[in-house]
Amino acid sequence: MAGIALVKQAVKLGETSSAAATTHQTVAFASHLGASRPGSSKLDDKEAPLPAMLTAVSGMLSGESMDAARGEMPAKPVAPA
């Protein structure tokens, strides 16, 4: 849980810092907005890098077997199994 809390803080810090950079007409943070295109990352086509990382570390996969967990990964479940 502490790891997830740290990533949540990183997401909020990225959001705040990127907004400040935009306000002061400097370069916004790619980690918050998206590196190659807005709202996308290597980890997830629909989320910028920091939010995508938060979704990934918040994941709840099956504890039954590695094969079951691998099968669930594409859906990115975040609710307890």
Write the pLDDT tens digit of every residue in 18-74: 999 999 999 999 888 888 899 998 888 899 999 988 888 887 777 778 888 788 777
Q: How many domains does the chain fold into?
A: 1
| pLDDT value of position 69 | 77
Q: Answer yes or no: is 14 within a domain.
A: yes
In which element (H, E) is residue 58 found?
A: none
**What pLDDT score was predicted for residue 67?**
85
Q: Which two tokens stand for residue 20?
A: 């400040």
Q: Which residue segment(s) compose the domain that 70 sits in?
A: 2-75
Closest among 28, 71, 27, 35 to 53, alpha carbons compared: 35
Which of the two residues, 12 and 4, has the higher pLDDT score? 12
80 pLDDT higher than 70: no
Domain assignment present for residue 57? The answer is: yes
Residue 80: inside a domain:
no
